[in-house]
């Protein structure tokens, strides 16, 4: 029988605590007891909302994905074409604490999710790639990018750059500030080359 949810805010509070622990300590240390302590509730409160650790981790992953998606949507806004592509890319880069936390959560689960080897990242990543395709298609139609642009290749290049940057930032906090600056430069240069390609056609 399904459990009744007494207080959705309490559930969200527990999920947020689990997400913080995943980012800070990893999957093994994110136990039901540790989450209860982080959320400042009893273990009974946690088990009222979640049958086991797997269900709790799943909820934390969905919450993490929703935060990342909100960042990308907010970054793109009502833009289109190449501007939207740049903003969608920047929206996923670990250039602030919230986005860095998203990457640390994905990294914590990268090898622990049999249905999604990317640690809960896979489904959202496919949505992001679809968004890139739509806006790259607009950029070609608007004359910002050349007609012969290989869209699948360009999407793969941007995906590889974003995922590589996110994994590096999430796994080595000692160099994250340097990496943030480097990431901005890498992507600015990449988009500048794309624009030059078009002007040369």
What DSSP string describes 171-192? H-GGGHHHHHHHHHHHHHHHHH
Select the more confidently predicted residue: 52 or 179: 52
> Does residue 187 lie in a domain region?
yes
User: Does the predicted model carry a pTM greater than 0.75?
Assistant: yes
Total number of residues shown for the chain: 201
> Does residue 12 lie in a domain region?
no
Say if residues 91 and 103 touch (Cβ distance below 8 Å): no
Mean pLDDT of the residues in the chain: 88
pLDDT of residue 1: 41
Select the more confidently predicted residue: 48 or 112: 48
What are the tens digits of pLDDT across the range 82-125? 999 999 999 999 888 899 899 999 999 887 765 654 556 788 89
What are the tens digits of pLDDT across the range 150-182? 999 999 999 999 998 888 887 777 777 787 778
At residue 2, the 3 state secondary structure works out as coil
> Does residue 13 lie in a domain region?
no
| CA 109 and chain centroid, separation | 13
> Does residue 55 lie in a domain region?
no
What are the tens digits of pLDDT across the range 7-43? 779 999 999 999 999 999 999 999 999 999 999 999 9
> Does residue 40 lie in a domain region?
no
CATH number at residue 81: 1.10.357.10
> Does residue 190 lie in a domain region?
yes
pLDDT of residue 19: 97
Domain extent at residue 188: 63-200
pLDDT of residue 201: 54
> Does residue 180 lie in a domain region?
yes
Domain total of the chain = 1
> Does residue 26 lie in a domain region?
no
Burial bucket for residue 44 (CB in 10 Å: 0-12, 13-18, 19+): exposed
Instruction: Quote the CA–CA distance of 181 and 177 in Å, as a whole number.
Output: 7
């Amino acid at each position: 029988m399904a459990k009744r949810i007494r207080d959705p805010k309490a559930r969200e509070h527990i999920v947020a605590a689990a997400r913080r622990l995943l980012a800070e300590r990893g999957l093994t240390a994110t136990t039901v007891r540790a989450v209860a302590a982080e959320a400042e509730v009893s273990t009974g409160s946690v088990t009222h909302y979640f049958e086991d650790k797997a269900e709790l981790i799943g909820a934390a992953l969905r919450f993490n994905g929703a935060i990342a998606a909100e960042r990308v949507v907010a970054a793109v806004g009502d833009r289109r074409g190449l501007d939207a592509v740049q903003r969608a890319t920047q929206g996923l880069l670990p250039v602030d604490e919230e986005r860095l936390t998203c990457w640390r959560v994905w990294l914590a689960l990268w090898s622990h999710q049999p249905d999604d080897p990317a640690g809960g990242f896979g489904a959202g990543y496919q949505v992001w790639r679809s968004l890139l395709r739509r806006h790259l298609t607009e950029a070609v139609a608007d004359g910002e990018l050349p007609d012969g642009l290989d869209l699948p290749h360009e999407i793969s290049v941007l995906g590889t750059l974003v995922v590589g940057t996110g994994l590096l930032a999430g796994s080595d906090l000692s160099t994250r500030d340097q990496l943030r600056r480097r990431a901005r430069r890498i992507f600015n240069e990449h988009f500048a080359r794309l624009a030059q390609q078009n002007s040369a056609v």
